[in-house]
Structure 1
Amino acid sequence: MKYILKKISTLIITLFLVTIFTFTAFQVIPGDSVSSTLGMDASPEAIQALRHERGLDDPLVIRYGRWLGGVLKGDFGESTQYNMPVWNLLSTRLTVTIWLAAISIVLIFLFSFPIGILSAKKEDGFFDRLMVFLTQTFMAIPPFFLGMILTLVFGVCLKWFIPGNYVSFQEDKGKFFAYLIYPAIAMAIPKIAMTVKFLRSSIRRQMHFEYVRTAKSKGNSKRGILVKHVLKNACIPVITFLGMIIADVLAGSIIIEQVFNLPGMGRLLVVAIANRDYAVVQAVVLYIATIVVVINLLVDILYRVIDPRISKEGGAR
């Protein structure tokens, strides 16, 4: 329990520091939402009046305290571009981003573990060499480029979907998921390649340990040793790696959403930055940071559950 409380305390401190950095970073750079709203030709009087109305002429500490107090109550402020509460704006985009990430994560788990285990079993065989080639290739290809290839092949050539023709969840659930599968595949393929390589190496490393030779000498089959002993030990470091992969997928859909014209958090962030809608930018950045630190917390806890030998002081290593 002390270990979990310590990790939760670290999470809270980390998020608090993120709020400070996120807020101050967008307050000290030149320009603000007033110039985007009124334009370059606005009079100094009009600019000053709108700055006062929005509280932008208050000291930085007061503005931060006001913003943080609102965040703790679920109020992320008002979008100056859309003239609506930021949370209402985020909630309409979260459905797309969360489902996109969820489908990608399912694909990663569905393919990486069977392929990684099979590749480790067929050491130096044709399948293993083929997987080594494919994993090295797909690890080197960025998701946005894969997205462009999928759009060209399945959208333009085969016409399985209409590029840029997004269908909302409320409008048609089937078409919504059918459209999301292509960007999800583009996000998942490089992560699958990374996970397969990592899992394959972890299993191979375990197969050379003394406990495996002891199990073989007792007449256990290679399959039995793999299932009962090797996989559990091999998956311990893989959990940490998968935690990073999941956090990356949940937080890293920005470019893919641009490629496939998805109205998710990524596109919202890009548009908000362009229009200096800092309330929206701060909320999205805080969302990304929260996803990363929460996933790391869950990974640390799961790591300790699987391997109780992890020191209470040091956590997962």
Structure 2
Amino acid sequence: MLNYLINRIKGAVIVLFLVSIITFMVLMILPGDPAQLILGTEATPDMVKDLHVSMGLDKPYYMQYGSWLIDFLRFDMGESYLYGESVSLLILNCLPVTLSIALFSMIIATLVAFIFGVLSSVKKDSFIDYFSRSIMQLGTAIPSFWIGMVFVVFFGLRLKWFPISGYVPASENFIKFLKSITLPSVVLAIGEFGLLLRIVRSSMQESISQDYMEMARVKGLSLISIYFKYALRGAMVAPLTIIGMQFAKLVGGTTVVETVFALPGLGRLVLTAVEHRDIVLLQGLVMFITTFVILITLVVDILIMFINPRIKTFERGE
């Protein structure tokens, strides 16, 4: 178990190091002078040169990278050209919004996927199975931005059940907080539960076909014990992996939904940084999101190790 954990941590560190190099170099070679963008078109060459020196842009790339990486490890990502504020502070201000809708959407998607996935695998080729496969296809095929606009018009403007834009922190008003994240979370969940439902269904069918399931039936165990205690536990590895990947993807990829519902999250911050070529802000966002994704993947790997003992056996070479 310890060797497995050490190997996963080593792999995560190596991936993060490689991503940091790629992120720094790609963003640095993009056309346009950051100093010129900050000072504007009326800046003199001497002013641009002085700002280059103060920002360290006159140094070789490897020295700039070293300083930038050390600062990132201290959670000091510099100051945004556009906002004039600390990148770390901007990320921390936007993070609760993105985490709220990502977490809520994954809860919804997971509940729907497991309910319909388990039922469709237990009642194969029944009405519930065909219905589950239908909503699986619909959830995968319909674009999230279109669903978002339909929800805004129907639930927000016509029925007025939910606000169509903005975010209310949970510390201010919990009911308004839930209302502000419900529509965007449901939109995201619709786009995610199709794949998860498919994985749950196929994993449950494979688990039900195992020999130990027949032994459980011979022993006269209840259906709840057979399907939920044994079959579902054996089928958890693949769905748990997908849940971790989807959650990590949502944290870094909610730009469309945050734009539709005017939410001040990480997705909109990334879009703003790209539009205004705020290199410092974009570098900080890319590295933060990448680090978060790697950590989520590492946590999922550790959870799978405890759920599936065969991994520990494989690591020992047995």
Same fold, TM-score > 0.5, yes or no: yes
Mapped pair 1:198 → 2:199: yes
Q: 1:63 corresponds to which residue?
A: 64
> What CA distance in whole angstroms lies between the structure 2 residues aligned with 1:229 and 1:16?
40
Higher mean displacement: 294-303 or 258-267: 294-303
Q: 2:131 corresponds to which residue?
A: 130
Retained in 2: the 8 A contact 1:143–1:187? yes
Task: Give the C-alpha shift of residue 44 in structure 1.
Answer: 2.7
Map 1:45-64 → 2, pairs under 5 A: 45-64=46-65
Retained in 1: the 8 A contact 2:101–2:181? yes
> What CA distance in whole angstroms lies between the structure 2 residues aligned with 1:172 and 1:185?
20
Task: Give the C-alpha shift of residue 263 in structure 1.
Answer: 0.7
**Structure 2 residue runs without a partner (length 5+):** none
Task: Give the C-alpha shift of residue 187 in structure 1.
Answer: 0.7
> What CA distance in whole angstroms lies between the structure 2 residues aligned with 1:294 and 1:221?
39
Q: 1:282 corresponds to which residue?
A: 283
Retained in 1: the 8 A contact 2:165–2:180? no
Retained in 2: the 8 A contact 1:104–1:185? yes
Normalization by structure 1: what TM-score?
A: 0.91
Supply the AA of the counterpart residue of 1:252.
G
Map 1:46-125 → 2, pairs under 5 A: 46-125=47-126
Higher mean displacement: 32-41 or 255-264: 32-41
Task: Give the C-alpha shift of residue 90 in structure 1.
Answer: 1.4
DSSP-derived class of the 1:83 partner: coil
Mapped pair 1:236 → 2:212: no
Q: CA RMSD in A?
A: 2.1
TM-superposition CA deviations, 1:51-75 (whole Å, max 9, x none): 2222222211111111111111121
Task: Give the C-alpha shift of residue 161 in structure 1.
Answer: 3.1
DSSP-derived class of the 2:291 partner: helix
Q: 2:308 corresponds to which residue?
A: 307
Change (3 A) 1:289 1:165: closer
Supply the AA of the counterpart residue of 1:253.
T
> What CA distance in whole angstroms lies between the structure 2 residues aligned with 1:80 and 1:22?
18
Task: Give the C-alpha shift of residue 93 in structure 1.
Answer: 0.9
Change (3 A) 1:221 1:165: closer
**Structure 1 residue runs without a partner (length 5+):** none
DSSP-derived class of the 1:106 partner: helix
TM-superposition CA deviations, 1:212-248 (whole Å, max 9, x none): 2333334344443212321111112222222212212
Supply the AA of the counterpart residue of 2:271.
V
Q: 2:257 corresponds to which residue?
A: 256
Supply the AA of the counterpart residue of 1:22.
T
Higher mean displacement: 108-117 or 41-50: 41-50
> What CA distance in whole angstroms lies between the structure 2 residues aligned with 1:83 and 1:297?
34
> What CA distance in whole angstroms lies between the structure 1 residues aligned with 2:17 and 2:73?
11
Higher mean displacement: 82-91 or 154-163: 154-163
DSSP-derived class of the 2:235 partner: helix
DSSP-derived class of the 1:123 partner: coil
> What CA distance in whole angstroms lies between the structure 2 residues aligned with 1:275 and 1:314?
48
Supply the AA of the counterpart residue of 2:152.
T
Aligned length: 315
Map 1:33-52 → 2, pairs under 5 A: 33-52=34-53
Q: 1:208 corresponds to which residue?
A: 209
Retained in 2: the 8 A contact 1:32–1:276? no
TM-superposition CA deviations, 1:148-176 (whole Å, max 9, x none): 22112111222223423444556544323
Retained in 2: the 8 A contact 1:33–1:275? no
> What CA distance in whole angstroms lies between the structure 1 residues aligned with 2:293 and 2:24?
18
Task: Give the C-alpha shift of residue 311 in structure 1.
Answer: 5.3
DSSP-derived class of the 1:79 partner: coil
> What CA distance in whole angstroms lies between the structure 1 residues aligned with 2:171 and 2:158?
29
Retained in 2: the 8 A contact 1:3–1:312? no
Retained in 1: the 8 A contact 2:168–2:180? yes
TM-superposition CA deviations, 1:77-130 (whole Å, max 9, x none): 111111121111111111211112121122223332222212222222212211
Task: Give the C-alpha shift of residue 29 in structure 1.
Answer: 1.2
Higher mean displacement: 255-264 or 152-161: 152-161
> What CA distance in whole angstroms lies between the structure 2 residues aligned with 1:30 and 1:132?
47
Mapped pair 1:17 → 2:18: yes
